[in-house]
Amino acid sequence: MKITIQTQPISGMKPGTSGLRKKVTVFQQPHYLANFVASIFAAVKPEGGFTGKTLVVGGDGRYFNLEAIQVVLRMAAAQGFARVLVGQHGILSTPAASCVIRKYKAFGGIILSASHNSGGPEGDFGIKFNGDNGGPAPEKITDAIYEYSTHITAYDMVEAADVDVGRIGMHTVGDMTVEVIDSVVDYQELMQQLFDFDVLRAFFKSGFTMKFDAMHAVTGPYAHAIFEDALGAAKGTVMNGTPSPDFNGHHPDPNLVHAKELYDIMMGEHAPDFGAASDGDGDRNLIIGRDMFVSPSDSLAVLAANATCAPAYAKGLAGVARSMPTSGAVDRVAAALGVECFETPTGWKFFGNLLDAGRITLCGEESAGTGSDHVREKDGVWAVLLWISILAKRRMSVVDIMKEHWATYGRNYYTRHDYEEVETEAANSVMNHIKAQLPTLVGQSLGGLKVAAADDFSYLDPIDGSVSNNQGLRVVFEGGSRIVYRLSGTGTSGATIRVYIERYEADPALHDLDTQVALSGLIAIANDFSQIAQKTGRLQPTVIT
Ligand code: VG1
Ligand code: CO
């Protein structure tokens, strides 16, 4: 039976870089989740309603995932959806959800994830809508969702018992069919189409060794099935491979702070050939070779330069794209390949149009995200499969691949300094202070470097003509060195200031420097110029990647 529940608008439901993320305790407030889900449905409802349509629902398995799924199912049934596909135990990695939406030609999907944010009762929860291309809703839609949330008065639900999402097969909620599907099978099948599993199996058999850190998050089942079961990697290749609602008390963000266990293994005496980690929802990848951390921006460039090593990309790339703060390493590869290179704002939603239009094949972000046109999300396990396809073909170590890459293209030294949980007012005053100086900066010298360009990044989408303003403050010096300042759009308490620093080095004799040392001059300029220390009281970044 369908019931209508009266509600009121709840403030603060504006989606950020990747959906709505809040503390679990916020989502547990009466009506909070339902208000947002109702706002999604209102914003995306087609003329004829949802009759006959299929929705995909899945999450990263974090605390509150299962409760949230039941609410989404009851509300979807009230909207008239014919069918919902749910990953078993409510689990679908973000790239797997994208894959399932595309494969079954669904109307779209609701992904329950706060990705790299911490989980558990005191941690974060999140929700976002992906459209029929499998990709995150563009700003036009997230704006409409928010707008509806500001004047919602009621929402509909079907009264029904909880669905046992642990049991694969058909269930019903009201008149709607709920199909609980294996979380891994469809995704694994797609990976088998893109990569040569026989070659990779033979590579592991020949002695290639790897560690994949699933960080107690969603990629565990995918990594066990693909790397260990299908490709024959030794048991134990996948570490922290059992998803847990609070990520076993860890923070599922694959960076050098939170993936330190993997990092230490890769720098240790018994390091395997290759190390990788993924995040809460499985869309990120961190790559660490034996004794060599690969910056995500470099990883994107290496994947672009060597993509033809995998069958799916054997014909070459249509083009590439990177988010604005991502280093220009991939630009150099694109120039050498003679393909287009696009610079988009931070967040995967901005790649969707370029991918749909066939203008790009590969894309990525400095935040450990890489992907291709196979789905419309970044994809951690896919990136690992492409990396090992390259290693299998080229028979070189990660260190040698990187050295060769830098010798060919030059090296873009790159680092990101994050100042997390800064008081919002202090963070805004830093950004305002920088912004105020931008108009008069060109031609001035900062720490001995002459400013060539300074602006607040705006993006004109070349496919649909939409414009996105205020996407990050850039200071570019003569010679191409850059400092970029942005406020994070994924945090849930206070503000996070991200400072991205980059310098290009052509001379191969200078390619072996420690990154922080190589960038020390620019780091000092970035600190002085922004007055972060004075305005926030923070003398050091919280995380350096
Ligand atoms: C961060 C990253 C961005 C990424 C986003 C979602 O956003 O910088 O590159 O797309 O997280 O990643 P922000 O606004 O905090 O800088 V995930 O893996 O958390 O969905
Ligand atoms: Co993620």
Torsions phi, psi of 5, nearest 5?
-110, 130
Please state the domain count of the chain: 3
Q: 383, 409, 435: which is the final residue of a domain?
A: 409
Q: Are residues 78 and 100 in the same domain?
A: yes
Instruction: Considering the candidates 115, 183, 367, 481, report the single residue annotated as catalytic.
Output: 115
* Pairwise CA distance, residues 378 & 285, whole Å: 9
| Ligand 1 atom nearest residue 491's Cα | 15
- In angstroms, the CA 472 to CA 110 distance is 28
* Chain position carrying tokens 């990629």: 219
Per-residue pLDDT at 226: 98
Same domain, 294 and 264: yes
Per-residue pLDDT of the chain (545 residues; tens, 9 = 90+): 899 999 999 999 999 999 999 999 999 999 999 999 999 999 999 999 999 999 999 999 999 999 999 999 999 999 999 999 999 999 999 999 999 999 999 999 999 999 999 999 999 999 999 999 999 999 999 999 999 999 999 999 999 999 999 999 999 999 999 999 999 999 999 999 999 999 999 999 999 999 999 999 999 999 999 999 999 999 999 999 999 999 999 999 999 889 999 999 999 999 999 999 999 999 999 999 999 999 999 999 999 999 999 999 999 999 999 999 999 999 999 999 999 999 999 999 999 999 999 999 999 999 999 999 999 999 999 999 999 999 999 999 999 999 999 999 999 999 999 999 999 999 999 999 999 999 999 999 999 999 999 999 999 999 999 999 999 999 999 988 999 999 998 888 889 999 999 999 999 999 999 999 999 999 999 999 999 999 999 999 999 99
Question: What pLDDT, on a 0 to 100 scale, did the predictor assign at position 286?
Answer: 97
Same domain for 261 and 379, yes or no, is yes
Helix ranges (DSSP H) in 280-397: 296-306, 329-337, 352-356, 380-394
Query: How many beta carbons lie within 10 A of that of residue 445, not counting itself?
Result: 10
Tokens standing for residue 414:
């790159």
Q: Is the CB of 174 under 6 A from ligand 1?
A: no
Q: Which amino acid is at 374?
A: H
Output the six-digit token pair for 220. Answer: 């565990």
What was the pLDDT predicted at 540?
94
Same domain, 17 and 102: yes
Q: What are phi and psi of 62, to 5 degrees?
A: -75, 165
Burial class (CB within 10 angstroms; exposed 0-12, middle 13-18, buried 19+) of 169:
exposed
| Gap between the terminal Cα atoms of the chain | 52
Q: Are residues 191 and 295 in the same domain?
A: yes
528, 447 contact by CB (below 8 A) = yes
Q: At 529, which CATH number?
A: 3.30.310.50
Domain with 135 in it: 2-182
Pocket test for ligand 1, best of 473, 490, 492, 545 (most atoms within 8 A of CB): 490
Report whether 364 contacts 299 (CB < 8 A): yes
CATH for 265: 3.40.120.10
Distance between Cα 17 and ligand 1 center (Å)? 6
The residue to mutate among 14, 18, 286, 417, having the most atoms of ligand 1 within 8 angstroms of its beta carbon, is: 18
- Residues 393, 423: one domain? no
* Ligand 1 near 490 CB (within 6 A): yes
Q: What is the DSSP letter of 275?
A: E
- Do 214 and 170 sit in the same domain of this protein? no
Same domain, 398 and 491: no
Ligand 1 in reach of 503 Cβ (< 6 A): no
Cα 428 from Cα 503, distance rounded (Å): 26
Does 397 qualify as catalytic in the annotation?
no
Name 83's bridge partners. 54, 177
**Crossing angle (nearest 10°) for helices 380-394 and 398-409:** 90
Q: What percent of the chain has pLDDT over 70?
A: 100
Q: Please name which ligand lies nearest the alpha carbon of 491.
A: 1
Q: Record the pTM.
A: 0.95
Check residue 493 and give its pLDDT: 83
Q: Whose CA is nearest to atom 17 of ligand 1?
A: 115
Q: How remote is the CA of residue 284 from the centroid of ligand 2, in Å? A: 5
> End of a domain among 120, 154, 182?
182
Q: For residue 279, which atom of ligand 1 is closest to its CA?
A: 18
Q: Are residues 510 and 381 in the same domain?
A: no
367 lines ligand 1 (CB under 6 A): yes
The atom of ligand 1 lying closest to the CA of 490 is: 15
Considering the domain architecture, whether residues 72 and 102 belong to the same structural domain is answered as yes
432 and 529 belong to one structural domain:
yes
Atom in ligand 1 nearest the alpha carbon of residue 113: 20
Residue 429 and residue 345 in one domain: no
* Nearest of 384, 315, 369, 401 to residue 94 by alpha carbon: 369
Question: Within 338-379, where are the H helices?
Answer: 352-356
Which residue among 182, 215, 249 closes a domain? 182
Q: Is 136 in the pocket of ligand 1 (CB under 6 A)?
A: no
Q: Coil, strand or helix: which one is 257?
A: coil
What single-letter DSSP state applies at residue 24?
A: H
C-alpha to C-alpha distance for 388 and 62, rounded to whole angstroms: 29
Q: Nearest 5 degrees, angle CA 523-CA 525-CA 528?
A: 110
Do the Cβ atoms of 456 and 471 come closer than 8 Å?
yes
